[in-house]
Amino acid sequence: MAVPLDSILRPRSLALVGASSRPDSLSGKLLGNLAAAGFTGAVYPINPKAETVHGFRCYRSLREAPQPPELAVIMVPRDAALATIDECIEVGVKGAVIITAGFREGSEEGAAVERRLLEKVRARGLRMVGPNCMGVINTEPDVRMDASFTPAPALPGAVAFASHSGALGVAVLEAARDAGLGFSHFVSLGNSADVNVNDLLEVWDHHDRTRVILLYLEALAEPQRFLALASRISRRKPIVVFKGGRTAAGARAASSHTGALAAGDVAVDALLEQAGCLRAGTLEEMFDLALALEASPPAHGRRVVVVTNAGGPAIAATDALADERLAVATLAPATEQALRAFLPAEAAVGNPVDMLPSATPDNFRRAVELTLADPGVDAVLTITVTPIVVGPLDVARGIAAGARSAAKPVLSVFMTHSGFFPASRAIAGLPPTFRYPEAAVRALAGLGAAESVASRPAAIPAATMSRSAIVERAHVTGGGYLPPAEAFALLEAAGLAVAPWRIASDADSAAGAAGEVGFPVVLKAFGSGLVHKSELGAVIVGLRDGREVGEAARDMCARLALAGVRTDGLLLQRQVQGGREVILGITRDPAIGSLVMVGLGGVAVEVWKDVSFRIAPIGRCDAEAMLDALAGAPLLGAFRGRPPADREALVEALVRLGALAAAHPEIEECDVNPLLVLDQKRGCVAVDVRVRVV
């Protein structure tokens, strides 16, 4: 039911229901903001007892307004909310913003009222923001609506901002004003009973004025819709997300490695990563990133030059570049020569370009111009500590002149008195300013990340798999762990290679089975109590012939029987030589669905926690990105004289596991541990798998 949100974001008339005439009331603040912003539509405060409120002519009810208002901003007490919505429906209101609190967030009783509200608006096709929200802002010149409680009006700009926390949203708007960051729309979502983040993404996708999307999220409704929308939009408009609050998934009991490693927020992390969202780790980072993205052209590479009047902070910046995996640009000899021509002899013209404390505003201008023109430079970072002779504002003017019409990002650090920042807002063309080099470098890294999202190939359809009878049968018979024969068969049906195996019912038939597999073989016992087999001595590798297998099998069975471990049978498996151990897995997040995981495997996987997750199904790019995210990824490359591992085959295996997961939501957990990844072009082979079906 995708109704455009014009009635909420671009209403031609607005009623404020529950307008109080008290001078210090919230409605007074909201009416004041509407007037100050110069709202282009009509405003009808509704109050049965007052003639005027805060300078506006007042109406006793919605019915008495001169025309049916398009939008109703509702501030009545909670218990009057349902009657108010009835009245809105009766007069033909199209959109509602419910400021009133005390609904789902407060009590079960409030939640019930919220459900009734939602039923009413859904039945009539009315769209509703809130309840429990702080209002809506649209700065477009033909609308100019500030129906919110911001202490200072939002500047017009290119950032669209949605926030689950109203108070935080308002605080960000206030700070943004100081930083010169402008907004197209702001929507305080409150409880998101009807209009949610996804509805706004649909609007902002096609909203030309919006170039950057900023989301403060506490929960994620309709995760699959978010993934589809955000993956598409993020390639054209960066989406910066700060996610507050952790999911409850951390407490889930899990017997698989994958399940145990999926604690906390990994599902949301995976979703945001997969959707191409830039996740800010802190509120400050969210803000800095929005600032850089709004003002800067895209960064087409990672090579950064630092232009400074102080050595120390430039060193800090260079360290931060390394931390953020950005590169220190090498300047062309011609650029160095041109810099040397006007800088004092003691200045350094490499990178950092250290122009010494005596650097003039014109030195900054020329250095910025010259470095921007260097083909080996993708972005310029200027650092200024309070200069000795001139003022920081003069330097800022020089930088602004040098950065004029730059096609590459320029970010500027000013380590100076705080009065500089508000004063510098008046300087036209001044690049985004930061107080510390590390913050600016993080923002530069964000620009780079936005660019790599923008250049992601168009979504390649993920692999699909038809439903497996094995899983269906396990599901209808009550679920549980699949026996090894079925688990291996399932992997093979999904298209993963499995080391050849045979099952023997007892020690006496083990040698014969091993002969069919081919030597050397690995002997394993299996049974419901055998979770981590090698810990119980139930895995023996390197058996070279039937005699060794027979002895080892009898010995293993006797030992396990003595220890009281029930075995259901023996597995003889071809021994795979020289693979690198990787774990692949499937787990389910109750809210988001099936996740696939890859990590550097073996027994220490839960110690290193070097794993990466995505929502199933996945495409090749997702699989590649998952591998790139592993700290231990170099172990898969050429390593200590060995050729690189067969990464292609690993990517393929991951994509296929994703298809298996997506086709079978009944798979609650699956560990393929290890998948042995052979050297280049030789493929990868699963040697151990556990699958639990519910």
* C-alpha to C-alpha distances, 104 to 112, 113, 126, 128, nearest whole angstrom: 8, 8, 20, 15
Which span (9-17, 138-146, 529-537, 562-570) binds ligand ADP, by CB under 6 A? 529-537
Contact status, residue 223 vs residue 271, Cβ threshold 8 Å? yes
Q: Can you tell me whether residue 388 is helix, strand or coil?
A: coil
For residue 362, CA distances in Å to 355, 398, 402 come to: 11, 6, 9
* Contact (Cβ atoms closer than 8 angstroms) between residue 277 and residue 243: no
Cβ proximity to Mg ion: between 321 and 605 the closer is 605
Our CB check for ligand ADP shows the closer of 86 and 545 to be 545
- The site partner of 480 among ligand ADP, Mg ion, none (C-beta below 5 to 8 Å per kind) is none
DSSP state of 466: P
Binding partner selected for residue 188 from ligand ADP, Mg ion, none, CB under the kind-specific 5 to 8 Å limit: none
Q: Is 333 exposed, middle or buried (0-12, 13-18, 19+ CB in 10 A)?
A: exposed
Q: Quick check: 494 and 465 in contact, CB under 8 A?
A: yes
The reply to whether 576 sits near ligand ADP by the rule CB under 6 A is: yes
Stretch that binds ligand ADP, among 19-27, 425-433, 507-515, 568-576 (CB under 6 A): 568-576
Among 602, 632, 665, 683, binds ligand ADP (CB under 6 A): 602
**Footprint of ligand ADP on residues 656-675 (CB under 6 A)?**
673-674
Q: How many of the chain's residues bind ligand ADP (CB under 6 A)? A: 18
Contact 579, 674 (CB under 8 A): yes
575 binds ligand ADP (CB under 6 A): yes
Of 479 and 527, CB closest to ligand ADP: 527
Nearest-angstrom CA–CA distance, 289 and 286 = 5
Binding range to ligand ADP, per CB under 6 A, among 261-269, 526-534, 630-638, 651-659: 526-534
Q: Is 673 in the site for Mg ion (CB under 5 A)?
A: yes
Q: How many helices (H) and strands (E) does the chain have?
A: 23, 31
Give yes or no for a contact between 137 and 73, defined as CB atoms under 8 angstroms apart: no
Give the residue with the Cβ less far from Mg ion, 531 or 563: 531
Q: How many other β-carbons are positioned within 10 Å of the β-carbon of residue 66?
A: 10
- Which residue from 192, 210, 276 is spatially nearest to 239, judged by alpha carbons? 276
Task: Tell me how far the alpha carbon of residue 51 is from its chain's centroid.
Answer: 50
Provide the minimum distance between the beta carbon of 673 and Mg ion in the complex, in angstroms, as a whole number.
Answer: 4
| Smallest distance, ligand ADP to C-beta of residue 271, A | 29
Q: Per this entry, what is the length of the chain? A: 694
**Considering only CA atoms, which of 660, 619, 613, 631 is closest in space to residue 272?**
613
Site string for Mg ion, 619-658 (x = CB under 5 A): ----------------------------------------
How far is residue 220's CA from residue 265's CA, in Å, rounded to a whole number? 12
Residue 328 φ/ψ, nearest 5 degrees: -85, 115
Give the residue closest to Mg ion by C-beta. 688
438 versus 548: smaller Cβ distance to ligand ADP: 548
Counting contacts by CB under 6 A, is residue 614 touching ligand ADP? no
Instruction: Tell me the site size for Mg ion, rule CB under 5 A.
Output: 2
Please select the residue that binds ligand ADP; options are 687, 691, 692, 693, rule is CB under 6 A.
687
* Residues 46-85 interacting with ligand ADP (rule: CB under 6 A): none
232 interface partner picked from ligand ADP, Mg ion, none, CB below 5 to 8 A per type = none
Binding to ligand ADP (CB under 6 A) within 536-555 occurs at 539, 541
Q: How many angstroms separate the Cα of 542 from the Cα of each of 551, 571, 581, 676?
A: 13, 14, 17, 16
360 versus 575: smaller Cβ distance to ligand ADP: 575
Which one among 75, 688, 689, 692 touches Mg ion, defined by CB under 5 A? Answer: 688
Phi and psi torsions of 86, nearest 5°: -60, -45
Residues 6+ apart with CB under 8 A from 100: 18, 74, 75, 76, 77, 78, 81, 130, 131, 132
Q: 54, 524, 580, 692: which one contacts ligand ADP (CB under 6 A)?
A: 524
Among 499, 540, 650, 677, binds ligand ADP (CB under 6 A): 499
Residue 534 interacts with, from Mg ion, ligand ADP, none (CB under 5-8 Å by kind):
ligand ADP
Q: Which stretch binds ligand ADP (CB under 6 A): 398-406, 573-581, 615-623, 634-642?
A: 573-581
677 near ligand ADP (CB under 6 A) = no
Tell me the one-letter amino acid at 631. Answer: A
Does 522 bind ligand ADP (CB under 6 A)? Our answer is: yes
Specify whether the CB–CB gap between 369 and 405 falls below 8 A: no
669 binds Mg ion (CB under 5 A): no
User: What residue ranges bind ligand ADP (CB under 6 A)?
Assistant: 499, 522, 524, 532-534, 539, 541, 573-576, 581, 602, 673-674, 687-688
User: What residue ranges bind Mg ion (CB under 5 A)?
Assistant: 673, 688
